[in-house]
């Protein structure tokens, strides 16, 4: 059974002319890391948050979002509360925005499992110490306040908190964006080690293709609420087939970039207040034809009427 199985997820918001998520399909197996990449506004965070039932006010959803075999979209408040303190957990982008600065780290770590009534205070604190050790921190942090910790240390605390309920699914939503480069690398390596150690499925949401390549087994590329390309990480980055994936890779800085300008993707993603006809990427795609502007590509490993056949260098 998959840790996460999203099937045909379509999400609509008030005031929009089209779905913000339009037929999303993805799965995360036990102990597997799946990356979800794309530009800001592509629907990555909404997709990940749907696994916890964290939908925007007024949203209507179709399809199914199965966590450990149970549909989150049909859960009542009590089941959702149990899900969020047990089988699924999220590491957010900015740890300082997700933790109460007036409470000690130990209270933050143990509160969820204690309120769930699944363990005593002593057992919860013992588990917290074990997980702090797993993320490379000492037990003395239980008595400290968030303001006494660096950003990298706080993100490690957030990861420990996410693991307190022994989740089958860990959702990491841009977990390194607020950190310096060194801390980013440490957190990514830590997530990978913990995923292997605990057998937890990991959905890693990022706009950084380099991080996605470093940590993921499989990758889904999102654009305008749709998944436009999916595949094993190594193959997808070496041989992108959707023009959008190739453009993202071309715009990614690297050690061999030299002093030249990075490639940029002309134009902007489509406005949610406007209806879409045909391929959403067509207005920005140099390969677009009349077919692209008139007919939506069928879902699949590559949702494109004119996929690329060359390597990354050829693209």
Does pLDDT of 314 surpass 50? no
**Among residues of the chain, what percentage have pLDDT more than 90?**
63
Which one is predicted more confidently, 180 or 129? 129
Does pLDDT of 257 surpass 70? no
The whole-angstrom separation of Cα 33 and Cα 203 is 6
Rounded to 5 degrees, φ, ψ at 276 are: -110, 135
Give this prediction's pTM: 0.89
pLDDT of 58: 93
* pLDDT tens-digit map of 209-253: 888 888 899 999 999 999 999 999 999 999 999 999 999 998 877
pLDDT of 169: 95
Out of 10-14, 48-52, 91-95, 301-305, pick the least confident.
91-95
Does pLDDT of 53 surpass 90? yes
Give Cα separations from 56 to 35, 63, 72, 250 (angstroms). Answer: 22, 17, 15, 33
Q: Of 252, 249, 247, 250, nearest to 267 (Cα)?
A: 247
> Residue 283 has what DSSP assignment?
G
* pLDDT tens-digit map of 62-100: 999 999 999 999 999 999 988 988 899 999 888 888 888
**Phi-psi bin for 308: left (phi > 0), alpha (psi -120 to 50), beta?**
beta
Does pLDDT of 315 surpass 60? no
The whole-angstrom separation of Cα 229 and Cα 201 is 21
Note the Cα 17 to chain centre separation in Å. Answer: 25
Out of 6-10, 208-212, 236-240, 297-301, pick the least confident.
208-212
Does pLDDT of 255 surpass 90? no
Copy the structure tokens of residue 211.
Answer: 């991080």
pLDDT of 120: 81
**Among residues of the chain, what percentage have pLDDT more than 70?**
94
pLDDT of 313: 39
Mean pLDDT of 88-115: 86
pLDDT of 193: 87
Contact present, 25 and 206 (Cβ < 8 Å): no
Exposure letters 221-243 (e unless 16+ CB within 10 A, then b): bbbbbbbbbbbebeebbebbbbb
Does pLDDT of 283 surpass 80? yes
User: Count of residues for the chain?
Assistant: 315
Copy the structure tokens of residue 36.
Answer: 């979800």
* pLDDT tens-digit map of 28-51: 999 999 999 999 989 999 999 999
> Residue 143 has what DSSP assignment?
G
Q: Percentage helix, strand, coil, to 5, in the chain?
A: 35, 20, 45
Mean pLDDT of 293-310: 92
Beginning with the edge strand found earlier in the chain, give each strand of the sheet holding 60-67 in spatial order.
21-28, 4-12, 60-67, 70-71
The whole-angstrom separation of Cα 130 and Cα 78 is 28
3-state secondary structure (DSSP) of residue 184: helix
Rounded to 5 degrees, φ, ψ at 123 are: -65, -35
Domains, the chain, in order of start with CATH, read 1-87+167-315 (3.40.50.300), 98-165 (no CATH)
3-state secondary structure (DSSP) of residue 64: strand
pLDDT of 252: 79
Out of 4-13, 147-156, 223-232, 259-268, pick the least confident.
259-268
Helix axes 151-162, 105-115, angle to 10 degrees: 20
Tokens 């693209």, located at residue: 315
pLDDT of 223: 96
Copy the structure tokens of residue 82.
Answer: 């149990």
Does pLDDT of 188 surpass 90? no
3-state secondary structure (DSSP) of residue 44: helix
Q: What is the mean pLDDT of the chain?
A: 89
């Amino acid at each position: 059974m998959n840790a996460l199985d999203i099937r045909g997820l379509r999400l609509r918001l008030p005031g929009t002319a089209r779905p913000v998520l339009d037929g999303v399909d993805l799965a995360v197996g036990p102990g597997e890391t799946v990356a979800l990449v794309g530009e800001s506004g592509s629907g990555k965070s909404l997709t990940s948050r749907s696994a916890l039932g964290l939908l925007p006010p007024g949203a209507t959803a179709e399809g199914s979002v199965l966590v450990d075999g149970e549909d989150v979209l049909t859960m009542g408040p009590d089941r959702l509360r149990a899900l969020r303190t047990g089988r699924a957990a999220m590491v957010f982008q900015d740890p300082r925005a997700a933790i109460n600065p007036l409470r000690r780290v130990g209270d933050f770590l143990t509160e969820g499992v204690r309120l769930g009534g699944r363990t005593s205070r002593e057992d919860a604190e013992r588990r917290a110490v074990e997980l702090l050790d797993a993320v490379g921190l000492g037990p003395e942090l239980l008595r400290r306040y968030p303001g006494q910790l660096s950003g990298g240390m706080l993100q490690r605390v957030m990861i420990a908190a996410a693991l307190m309920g022994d989740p089958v699914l860990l959702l990491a939503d841009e977990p390194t964006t607020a950190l310096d480069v060194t801390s980013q690398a440490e957190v990514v390596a830590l997530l990978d080690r913990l995923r292997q150690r605990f057998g937890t499925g990991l959905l890693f949401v990022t706009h950084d293709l380099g991080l996605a390549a470093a940590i993921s087994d499989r990758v889904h590329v999102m654009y305008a609420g749709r998944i436009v390309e999916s595949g094993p990480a190594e193959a997808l980055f070496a041989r992108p087939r959707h023009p959008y994936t190739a453009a993202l890779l071309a715009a990614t800085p690297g050690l061999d970039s030299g002093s030249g300008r990075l490639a940029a993707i002309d134009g902007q993603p489509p406005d949610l207040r406007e209806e879409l006809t045909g391929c959403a990427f067509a207005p920005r795609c140099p390969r677009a034809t009349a077919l692209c502007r008139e007919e939506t590509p069928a879902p699949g490993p590559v949702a494109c009427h004119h996929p690329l056949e060359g390597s990354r260098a050829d693209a």
